[in-house]
Amino acid sequence: MTDPQLAELQPQIDAWLADDPDEACRDDLRSLVEDAQTDDDPLHTREKALAELADRFSGTLQFGTAGLRGAMAAGPNRMNRAVVIRAAAGLASYLVDAVPADGRPPRVVVGYDARHNSHTFALDTAAVLTGAGIEALVLDHALPTPVLAFAVRHLDADAGVMVTASHNPPADNGYKVYLGGRVVTDAGQGAQIVPPYDGRIAERIAAVPSVASVSRPESGWTVLGPDVLASYVESVGELAVADAPRDLKVVVTPLHGVGGAVVEHVLRAAGYDDLFLVPEQAQPDPDFPTVAFPNPEEPGAIDLSLAYAQTLGADLVIANDPDADRCAVAVLDRRGAMGVPPTVDRDTAVADGWRMLHGDEVGALLGELVAAGAAATGAGGRLASSIVSSRLLGRIAEAHGLEHSATLTGFKWISRAEGLVFGYEEALGYCVDPRSVRDKDGISAALLLVQLADRLKAKGFTLVDALDDLARAHGLHLTDQLSVRFSDLSRIPETMATLRGAPPASLAGSAVVETVDLSAGVDGLPPTDGVRLLAEDGTRVVVRPSGTEPKVKCYLEVVVPVATDASADDLTTARRTARERLDAVRADMTAALGL
């Protein structure tokens, strides 16, 4: 960028400085402008500052179905108080018109995690809502996302706002919106927004003339007491079964997030006292000092947990992401310890026989548990999973006489399935109690997984043995993921275009018999950016850009038939076959994407 280009940006910068309510943000922006005007520049400070300014003012952080998410800094293309105030004003404007005039004002619950600025953003939201004549209810301290999602339904709120960036890096924050109450009255009541709601709210945000024009009183909202959290814990506790032995040693890590105390409360209330939080990660810390990325799926994220579990002789490791809407589980796979290849994908952690189960494996275990319960009571219902998740859940549903739906990715879609009793997506998200929480909930999922492992242990089995039984019943479904991160975002549509123009002719030697462009809308689903490949032997690949990160993801699945009376050796052979096939598919897709 040249000086004339900086001069071109200066009016936008000046306008921002005049309207930004945050002194720290204003000072940061002024400092960046000074760096951009530096003459003596041995460290390329000027060049970096100019590039940063260009990016911050390249557009506006877009509000969509995921709300807002981005790095925190001054400027319209970043997360900051000014952007949040505009978002809250747009949401308020939408709600005032969308909620029927029945004499009651719209009601909104606001929650927040322990990230930098989350509490400030939550209070700004409450002030804006109050100024618009909306009843704003703020959770009393930093709490998990599932508690906010629960509160929307529990308090019959018309909307909910959760300030969180979930498992993003420390520099990020985000803003998730739920609709319920009188705005959404169907199966999606209390779920995250989907079209056309996101577009309507975005239009109202764009119409906000300035931050200064938004009324923000200093009081008038209600800070909720401990009753909401107590009601949530009680609701989750109702999922516990009375006949579980309660003989399980469990290690829990919240990865420096807000889930630790709530998970501990839920598990202890259910009778699990042999419970240990990883000391270094037990307390909320917005800098996430012990992990490169605060995401249980990332390599190394649960290494401290595994080492702690090894020291304690634990049976199970539970890891939640920082806002506790996701849940990972690691088990001791003794076959790996005995020199037999464990049932492990490349993206799972292995240490001294421990391994983290893939999200599809956990989804199958929980799906079988819930489906068996629904079938036993005759309650019926529907299981749902995203189009990138394993097809095993559909087979489980069929075996129990239940319905199954494959939805677009994200719980905003999964939670809208009619008659839902269980839903999951492979990215460690599970909805085991949709009557209370219409979103993924890593806390209630943790309770069911602990109880399942507990009952299996009493019979001399583990979660791995339960997976073996599912393979005998439905075939061995093995999944993996090829994920490519891009620094140049323009390469993402180019990569997708390359795949659409020249898809692979075969996958692991099996001819591709179906190539589906998901952007056209298929199987009754709305259009989405993605491509699905199906090979003659049942191998499936779904390729799509990530909705929250600069990545293209390929979701790989192979299915190997297994006899109902297959021995342990037979299953080991099947896994080796499946792993080899997945490796070949990975290589084929790497070539097809031009990587």
CATH 3.40.120.10 holds for 230-355: yes
Cis, bond preceding 504 (omega within 30 deg of 0) = no
Instruction: Give the integer Cα–Cα distance in Å for 504 and 510.
Output: 11
Q: Residue 534 in contact with residue 540, Cβ under 8 Å?
A: yes
Q: Report the run of H or E that residue 267 belongs to, with start and end.
A: helix 260-269
State residue 39's pLDDT score.
Answer: 76
Helices marked H in 459-516: 463-474, 491-501
| Collapsed DSSP state (helix, strand, coil) of residue 441 | coil
3-state secondary structure 94-162: HHHHHCCCCCCCCEEEEEECCCCCHHHHHHHHHHHHHHCCCEEEECCCCCCHHHHHHHHHHCCCCEEEE
The interaxial angle of helices 568-592 and 463-474, nearest 10 deg, is 80
Closest to 255 measured CA to CA, from 424, 113, 438: 113
Q: Render each residue's pLDDT in the chain as its tens digit; 595 residues.
A: 457 888 999 999 999 999 999 999 999 999 999 999 887 666 678 889 999 999 999 999 999 999 999 999 999 999 999 999 999 999 999 999 999 989 899 999 999 999 999 999 999 999 999 999 999 999 999 999 999 999 999 999 999 999 999 999 999 999 999 999 999 999 999 999 999 999 999 999 999 999 999 999 999 999 999 999 999 999 999 999 988 899 999 999 999 999 999 999 999 999 999 999 999 999 999 999 999 999 999 989 999 999 999 999 999 999 999 999 999 999 998 765 433 444 444 344 445 689 999 999 999 999 999 999 999 999 889 999 999 999 999 999 999 999 999 999 999 999 999 999 999 999 999 999 999 999 999 999 999 999 999 999 999 999 999 999 999 999 999 999 998 888 888 889 989 998 999 999 999 999 999 999 999 888 889 999 999 999 999 999 999 998 767 889 999 999 999 999 999 999 999 999 999 999 999 999 999 987 7
3-state secondary structure 45-84: HHHHHHHHHHHHCCCCCCCECCEEEEEECCCCCCECHHHH
Assigned CATH for 59-225: 3.40.120.10
| Collapsed DSSP state (helix, strand, coil) of residue 446 | helix
Q: Which residue has the tokens 């109202």?
A: 204
Q: Which residues are catalytic?
A: 166
State residue 1's pLDDT score.
Answer: 47
- Gap between the terminal Cα atoms of the chain: 30
Q: Report the run of H or E that residue 163 belongs to, with start and end.
A: strand 159-163
State residue 336's pLDDT score.
Answer: 53
Residue 242 CB: number of other CB atoms within 10 A?
A: 5
φ/ψ of 115, rounded to 5, equals -70, 165
Whether 59-225 and 230-355 share one fold: the answer is yes
State residue 335's pLDDT score.
Answer: 67
Half-sphere exposure of 165 (CA within 13 A, CB side): 27
State residue 351's pLDDT score.
Answer: 55
Instruction: Give the integer Cα–Cα distance in Å for 444 and 450.
Output: 10
Q: What is the homologous superfamily of the domain 361-471 according to CATH?
A: Alpha-D-Glucose-1,6-Bisphosphate, subunit A, domain 3 (3.40.120.10)
Closest to 73 measured CA to CA, from 61, 65, 62: 61
Show me where the domains of the chain are located: 59-225, 230-355, 361-471, 475-592
Closest to 385 measured CA to CA, from 397, 373, 393: 393
Contacts of 64 (CB under 8 A, 6+ apart): 198, 202
Instruction: Give the integer Cα–Cα distance in Å for 146 and 153.
Output: 11
Assigned CATH for 475-592: 3.30.310.50
State residue 343's pLDDT score.
Answer: 45
